[in-house]
A and B are shown apart, each in its own frame.
Chain A
Amino acid sequence: MDVKPTKSIDERGEVCPVPDVDAKRALAKMKSGEILEVLIDYPLSKERIPANATKDGHELLAIEETGNSEWRILIKVK
């Protein structure tokens, strides 16, 4: 997806649940309409971060596979 994220956090290699916690905190500090990019390599976070984000009302733009067990999640802040 060709969007330019407002903020990007690289959570690759981080222990559970750090990617999820960092994603949630980042979203909470961002302004409406801004886009967060989260780079992860943890399969569970690929499932849980989108679910938590949409539950909090944000918009999931994309989950892209960027490498072997690596993903880029794009979330638009509500």
Chain B
Amino acid sequence: MNVLLGLLTGLAFGVVLQRGRVCFNSAFRDLRLMNDNFMFKAALLAVALETIAFLVMAQLGWIHLNPKPLNWVGVIIGGYVFGLGMVLAGGCASGTTYRIGEGNTTSWLAGLFFAIFALATQSGFLSPIMNAINGWTIKVSSNSALYLGDKTGPTLATLLNISPWIAGLVFAALMLIYVFATKTTKRETAAWGWIKTGLLIVPVAMFGFWSSTLTGRVYGLGITGGWINVLQATQTNVALSWEGAEVLGIILGAAITAIIFKEFKLRVPKKGITYAYVVLGGALMGFGATLAGGCNIGHFLTGIPQLAISSIVAGIFFILGNWTMTRILYGKG
């Protein structure tokens, strides 16, 4: 049942990612490199609407808000390293994962090393680093029954000691004003417009949070934990979890739509060095995401809508890392 729910979530997510070409690496990087905010706007629209959606779901008792605890060292260093890695890998965690389904051999390699280094950081040869910083993890008292438990990761609501509803509505309103009141880069030949893409992410995120909660994992869309679980489930006796099934579903969903729309192709770069770049990129992403408590999907599509400080800070450092490596590799564009 857990596997089925995760798989369904992943399938839907994979379709949206592939059709919408949703990649946060692209969203952040294109802001700088191409003066292009098309994907960034789609992401912000999704975040704003999810903020409201999660509040409603929590109010109805379908989920609990469960923002990640804050570890400054983890989110700053992990976030920055992840940002560097996604540019080298040519895709963020979700971008890489869905492009595996499109046939990109560089994504296959990036994804594999993402998984290897994520698990290595969580419980393998790199775990001493995680253990070293664990003591600095911060949780605060929940100031609302919407949160899971008495203690929760700090959010804008707990920080200002206001109701998550008020904080959430103000946050969502500000985001929506920015999204619709400012100019958005045109992309006339896009399969899906940015508004359609942003809108369609929301029901997937809602179904994800609801169904994952049923399995005991009180959280929404995520990728890093899923990859870790896929590795564990294939190499050891650990059972495939909701999140592991979600990641497999993304690959499958993206593959299906890619094949239907004739966008599946086994793509191979001309120069071998590209493989070295994406291997390094994947490794940095795996390490960074685990250290930061999540990748761009966990933090942007699940954490920020809950106003988690950990996710907001991680998000900032994802972007800074991304812009740094973009400048190194591609100059000012």
Asked if A47 meets B269 with Cβ closer than 8 Å, knowing A15-B277, A17-B26, A52-B34, the reply is no
Which residues of chain A have C-beta atoms less than 8 A from B2's C-beta?
none
Instruction: State in angstroms the CA–CA spacing of A21 and B30 once bound together.
Output: 11
* Bound complex: CA A42 to CA B265 (Å): 9
Give the CA-CA distance A13 to B29 in the complex, in Å: 20
State which of B23, B36, B191 has its C-beta within 8 Å of the C-beta of A16.
B23
Residues of A contacting B29 in the complex (Cβ-Cβ under 8 angstroms): 17
Residues of A within 8 A of B106 (CB): 15
User: What mask results when residues 38 to 54 of chain A are scored 1 for a CB within 8 Å of chain B, else 0?
Assistant: 00011110111011100
A41-B267, A43-B21, A51-B185 given as contacts; is B333 within 8 A of A16 (CB)?
A: no
Question: B189 to A46, Cβ gap below 8 A?
Answer: yes
Q: Given A24-B333, A41-B265, check contact A47 B270 (CB 8 Å).
A: no
Chain B residues near A47 (CB-CB < 8 A)? 21, 187, 189-191
Across the interface, do A68 and B265 meet the contact criterion of CB distance under 8 Å?
Answer: yes
- Please provide the 9 A-B residue pairs with the shortest distance between their CB atoms, ordered closest to farther: A15-B90, A69-B265, A51-B187, A44-B21, A47-B190, A16-B90, A13-B269, A69-B263, A43-B263
Fill in one digit per residue for B59-73: 1 if any A CB lies within 8 Å of its CB, else 0: 000000000000000
Q: Could you tell me the dominant secondary structure of chain B's interface residues?
A: loop
Q: A16-B23, A16-B90, A20-B34 are in contact. List 14 more A-B contacts (CB 8 A).
A: A12-B267, A14-B274, A15-B278, A18-B90, A21-B33, A24-B34, A43-B263, A44-B23, A44-B26, A51-B38, A51-B187, A52-B36, A68-B265, A69-B264
Residue-by-residue, is B91-108 near A (CB-CB < 8 Å gives 1, otherwise 0)? Answer: 100010000001000100
7 contacts between A and B (CB under 8 A): A16-B23, A16-B25, A16-B95, A48-B187, A68-B265, A69-B264, A70-B265
Distance (whole angstroms) from the CB of A76 to the closest CB of chain B: 17
- Interface residues of chain A, those whose CB is within 8 Å of chain B, are 10, 12-18, 20-21, 24, 41-44, 46-48, 50-52, 55, 63, 68-70
| Chain B interface extent, by class | 35 or more
Bound-state CA distance A13–B262 (Å) is 16
Task: Report the tally of A-B residue pairs with Cβ distances under 8 A.
Answer: 80
Find chain B residues with CB under 8 A from A41 CB.
265, 267
CB atoms of A50 and B189 under 8 A apart: yes
Residues of B within 8 A of A12 (CB): 267, 270
Bound complex: CA A12 to CA B191 (Å): 20
Could you tell me which residues of chain B, from 14 to 45, have a CB within 8 Å of some CB in chain A?
A: 21, 23, 25-26, 29-30, 33-36, 38
B217 CB–A CB distance under 8 Å: no
Measured in the bound complex, the distance between the Cα atoms of B30 and A52 in whole Å is 11
Contact A63 B189, beta carbon cutoff 8 Å? yes
Q: How far is the CA of A47 from the CA of B263 in the complex (A)?
A: 13
- In whole Å, how far is A25's beta carbon from the nearest beta carbon of chain B? 9
B196 close to chain A: CB less than 8 A: no
In-complex Cβ contact of B36 among A15, A48, A63 (8 A): A48
Q: Could you tell me if A15 and B185 are in contact, using CB atoms closer than 8 angstroms?
A: no
Mark interface residues in B259-281 (1 if CB within 8 Å of A CB, else 0): 00011110111100010011000
CA distance A68 to B333 in the complex (A): 29
Known A14-B269, A15-B106, A16-B23; judge A68-B190 contact (CB<8 A). Answer: no
Closest A residue to B29 by CB, please name it.
Answer: A17
> Is B262 touching A69 in the complex (CB atoms < 8 A)?
yes
Give the residues in chain A near B267, CB-CB below 8 Å. Answer: 12-13, 41-42
Give Cα A24 to B331, complex, Å. 12
